[in-house]
Amino acid sequence: MGHYCKLPKGLKLPSDVEDLKEILLNVEPRLQPIPLIRRHVSRFVDGADMDEVYPKLWLGDCDAATNVAYLQRHGITHVLNAADNKTGPAPVKTGPDFYKEAKIKYLGLDLIDLPFANVARHFVATAEFLDDALSTGGTVLIHCRQGRSRSASIVIGFLMIKKNFTAGEALKRLREYREVRPNNSFLQQIADYDLQLFRERLAYYRSLPSSSSSSSSESDSESICEEVEKESLDSDSFKTVFSEPILTDTADSREQSILDDSDEYESCHERKIREQTLSESETIYIPKRPSTNDNYEFASCKELSAEFSINLVIDYDYDSDDESSDSNDF
């Protein structure tokens, strides 16, 4: 029998899209009192429907975004509008001039809350905007129309890229403080991005000088981990590995990103990854993503095995009833 590879410190296995759906089902939000709001007045009436989901990161709706007086009282210095779409439903038309007098910095995204929208292509730019705001002592409101889907997906992307959260950890964090619910397509894109970051970060760790040895001894494994511990996840060299978005905004990608919980997707719930008989090779257990057709493949075991010299095997164990059961619909 082979052995489990000891993952380098700071590297965590990615979340499957089914894990994200389970979080939406099982994690109940705990809404916190909002500072500066009048007692016994609804947050919606007072135009302050926003929740602090991460230190100095507030997630809210269009009413909070357009209540400039409240934003000023609350110390908001930056606004990220994830609903600045030029066409399509549910836009929030504010813009930089709307906040000019309040001296609030603004970033708007042309993004609609529909299955074919490509939210992942905004992750890198928005992560930089949010990171710059926080690093200069700013406080940010990220919003869309309701503060549930588009803006939540953007915050999840930031936490994955800049704070080393997995998709599951990020969604759980947001869900605990606000009733977020990204649409199914956004959930799939988030899961894909999580897997992409894992692959890129694993390649980064493999490129460290201490990993050049082909020996599989415990001493070499420990030296790799010690080397990784010295590397900061926020270092410039580390950040360069995810400078490109995963998906492209083409007709094919729009069609392939649509998730409708139909029978074309295998149930991931019973998907298990098992260990084969290995000699002296490393074994890492990594989930495989479903794909909509042969032309849109996510990371496979063969790709990862060839790229990182890791033996990976996926074994699909399904009960006979699973194939006929209905998928959860969000």
Q: Which residues are catalytic, by number?
A: 144
Q: Is 264 left (phi over 0), alpha (psi -120 to 50) or beta?
A: alpha
Q: Is 240 helix (H, G, I), strand (E, B) or coil?
A: helix
Full 3-state SS string of 39-59: CCCCCCCCCCCEEEEECCEEE
CA nearest to 231, candidates 251, 213, 206, 264: 206
* CA separation, residue 255 to residues 191, 245, 260 (Å): 17, 17, 11
**Residues β-bridged to residue 57:** 54, 140
For residues 36 and 309, is the Cβ–Cβ distance under 8 A?
Answer: no
For residues 182 and 330, is the Cβ–Cβ distance under 8 A?
Answer: no
For residues 120 and 185, is the Cβ–Cβ distance under 8 A?
Answer: no
Q: Which long-range contacts (CB under 8 A, 24 or more apart) does 245-252 make?
A: 245/118, 245/120, 245/121, 245/122, 245/123, 245/124, 246/120, 246/189, 246/192, 246/193, 246/196, 247/118, 247/120, 247/121, 247/189, 247/192, 248/118, 248/121, 249/118, 249/121, 252/295, 252/296
The pair of structure tokens assigned to 61 is: 């709706």
Q: Is 103 helix (H, G, I), strand (E, B) or coil?
A: coil
For residues 60 and 66, is the Cβ–Cβ distance under 8 A?
Answer: no
Q: Is 86 left (phi over 0), alpha (psi -120 to 50) or beta?
A: alpha
CA nearest to 121, candidates 145, 154, 90: 154
